[in-house]
Amino acid sequence: MPSSLACVNGKVTAAEEATVSVLDNGFAFGDAVYETLRTYGGRPFHLDRHLARLRASAARLGFDVGPEEDGLRRPLDDLLARAGNAESYIRFIVSRGRGDLSYDFGRVQGPTLVLVVRPLVPMPAAFYEEGVLLAVASVRRNHPDALDPAIKSCNLLNNLLATREARARGAFEAVLLNAAGDVAEGAGSNVFAVKAGVARTPPLSAGILAGITRQVVLELAPAAGVTVREEALRPADLREADEVFLTSTLKECLPARTIDGVPVGTGRPGPVTRRLLDAYRRYAPAHSV
């Protein structure tokens, strides 16, 4: 029987029964960091990179996620074994801890460590065959001087507002621009545009999350015969692209069919996206340990 399990500070329960204090800073302030992973062949993909980013995100907020082996890796192995799913969705959430609803963080006892494992629900195959609908949101990506998108924090209102707007317009994913009007990233993904066979994605300096899928695609592209560049993209670059695709842990390389209702290229997923998706799917099982 596949199952959804959670581990909160070492206590394992069914995911729906797991609880965190109402005084937790994660609940009160979004003062928490997280990672979403998935398994290939039952093992987590690039756990090393995800744990490094989790630690780096927490360090930017000024707290420590605790010991890696005992606090993070072993509980994950334990939960994956207990859940027994063919493939799992994995979420780490680490908050600063339990406080008193004030900004007096000296009183916070933490961190609070939450781990959720549940059966993976893959993206529908039709999404890869037909592409998904994108909308450029009016909501801009947080300015890095205010709340740096490089921090993968649970303070997700910026992403949520953009997603609400995109969904209201019938789109699957919002694309957010930065304060300068350049393309930043998707609400839960990084963005690539392909023109004349060259793939381009905004640089980290555009104010984005350093996506692990994005980085893997950058690494795999040369061997897949694709030229890829980190370069600023204007919204017009998306509209005029031959292909646009999103990258994320759960989306892998997901082609776009339309942007704001206008077809991307031929309106069908293109060969560069396909080649990178194939390369990614060949790479992923070998890097899931």
Ligand X SMILES: Cc1ncc(COP(=O)(O)O)c(C=O)c1O
Binding segment (CB under 6 A) for ligand X, from list 112-120, 122-130, 188-196, 274-282: 188-196
Interface with ligand X, residue 185, by CB under 6 A: yes
251 is catalytic: no
Shortest Å, Cβ 284 to ligand X:
12
Asked whether 90 and 78 are in contact (CB, 8 A), the reply is no
Among 95, 163, 189, 201, binds ligand X (CB under 6 A): 189
Shortest Å, Cβ 106 to ligand X:
31
Interface with ligand X, residue 57, by CB under 6 A: no
SS3 149: coil
Strands (E) in the chain, as ranges, are 5-8, 11-14, 32-40, 43-44, 88-95, 112-119, 132-136, 173-177, 183-186, 190-195, 198-201, 227-230, 243-248, 252-259, 262-263
Interface with ligand X, residue 36, by CB under 6 A: yes
Interface with ligand X, residue 163, by CB under 6 A: no
- Sign of the CA dihedral with 66 first, then 67, 70, and 75 last: positive
Structure tokens at 121: 């629900």
Site string for ligand X, 249-288 (x = CB under 6 A): x---------------------------------------
Complex with ligand X: residue 57 or 213, whichever CB lies closer: 213
Rounded Cα distance, 281 and 114, in Å: 28
Question: Which are the contacts of 286, defined by CB distance < 8 A and separation ≥ 6?
Answer: none
Shortest Å, Cβ 229 to ligand X:
18
Interface with ligand X, residue 211, by CB under 6 A: yes
Rounded Cα distance, 237 and 202, in Å: 11
Shortest Å, Cβ 139 to ligand X:
13
Closest CA to 134 of 178, 188, 88: 188
Binding segment (CB under 6 A) for ligand X, from list 69-77, 114-122, 162-170, 247-255: 247-255
Q: How many residues bind ligand X (CB under 6 A)?
A: 14
- Phi and psi for 164 in degrees, rounded to 5? -60, -40
Q: Token pair 């961190």 is at which residue?
A: 111
Among 47, 174, 209, 238, binds ligand X (CB under 6 A): 209
Catalytic center residues: 152
Which residue ranges make up the site for ligand X (CB under 6 A)?
A: 36, 159, 185, 188-190, 209, 211-214, 247-249
